[in-house]
Amino acid sequence: MRKATLRLNCRDVPGIVYHVSKFIFERGGNIIHAQQHREELDDRFFMRVHFDCAQMVDDKAKIRRDLADLATQFDMETRLSFSDERKRLAIMVSKYDHCLYDLFLRHRYGEIGADIALVVSNHPDLQGISEAFGAPFVYTPVTRENKAEAEAQTHALFQDYGVDFVVLARYMQILSPYLVERYRHRIINVHHGFLPAFKGAKPYHQAYQRGVKLIGATSHYVTEELDMGPIIGQEIIRVNHSHSVQDLTAMGRDIEKKVLAEAVRAHAEDRIMVYSHRTIVFE
């Protein structure tokens, strides 16, 4: 328990920063980095505090109980995580391999502060890649007839492997409300389109048909409504009339990888807060 991260949101009233800082100081903590944001539309205050807790004498349970008292005082929603509680992620893929390779490589280089627990796929094609990086691979075919059973099996796997959040690295299946509800705001998807434009299938084809001059990729949390979850990050690249659908697809792979990896890293580092249908992503 060397470091900790506190995220909170509440109605914006005077004294919040003071009381949060005082709370950490009085327990022996030392603030390393703090960021705040005020949402003007409904007068909401958001804060993320990263602090050193090596000298704190209280254990985690006591700190969390005391934090609950502070939260009650200001009617706060709070999330507190410690550096020794490293998150475990599951990757779901189909046949496209570029995002999977990228996540594995970034994880190997220490760029993602979470452990890859396993890879689940509805096709067997990428098993060799997972095994080469030392990650368990589970092939779970999905059909219209067995979808509910397959997702129940997947959920059981996530529980067995202690999965904290899920990354859809070009997983070409629509998740049912069953799985979405169990991992609310903990399933990250990359959509190969600049949402909310060009939702659903074949966004590069849609972009080509409309003659757009920019194409994009979007990372977002999955909700029951297809491609409409809270947006985490977006990237764009310029295109022109000479580019074919195949060109757009090839160009889009780079930004798909980047926007997904950045979302995964932000989630693993507890830098994202979801409020209403928006995200606040701290740097």
The single-letter DSSP state of residue 169 is S
Phi then psi for residue 96, to 5 deg, are -70, 135
**How long a stretch of residues is the chain?**
283
CA 73 to chain centre: 30
Verify whether residue 12 is a known catalytic residue: no
pLDDT at 227: 83
- pLDDT tens digit sequence for 76-128: 999 999 999 999 999 999 999 999 999 999 999 999 999 999 999 999 999 99
- pLDDT tens digit sequence for 161-192: 999 999 999 999 999 999 999 999 999 999 98
Instruction: Report the C-alpha gap between 189 and 220 in whole angstroms.
Output: 5
Side by side, which strands form the sheet with 231-238? 137-139, 114-121, 87-93, 165-168, 187-191, 214-221, 231-238
> One of 97, 227, 247, 270 is an active-site residue; which one?
227
Tell me the pLDDT band of 32, cut-offs 50, 70 and 90. very high
Q: Give residues with Cβ within 8 angstroms of 68, minimum separation 6.
A: 78
Instruction: Report the C-alpha gap between 244 and 98 in whole angstroms.
Output: 20
Average pLDDT value for residue range 248-255? 89
pLDDT at 1 over 70: no
The proportion of the chain whose per-residue pLDDT surpasses 90, expressed as a percent, equals 81
Average pLDDT value for residue range 2-19? 95
Which pTM does this prediction carry? 0.92
Q: Give residues with Cβ within 8 angstroms of 22, minimum separation 6.
A: none
SS (H, E, C) 35-81: EEEEECCCCEEEEEEEEECCCCCCCHHHHHHHHHHHHHHHCCEEEEE
- pLDDT tens digit sequence for 35-81: 999 988 789 999 999 999 999 989 999 999 999 999 999 999 999 99
| Domains of the chain from N-terminus onward | 3-82 (3.30.70.260), 87-281 (3.40.50.170)
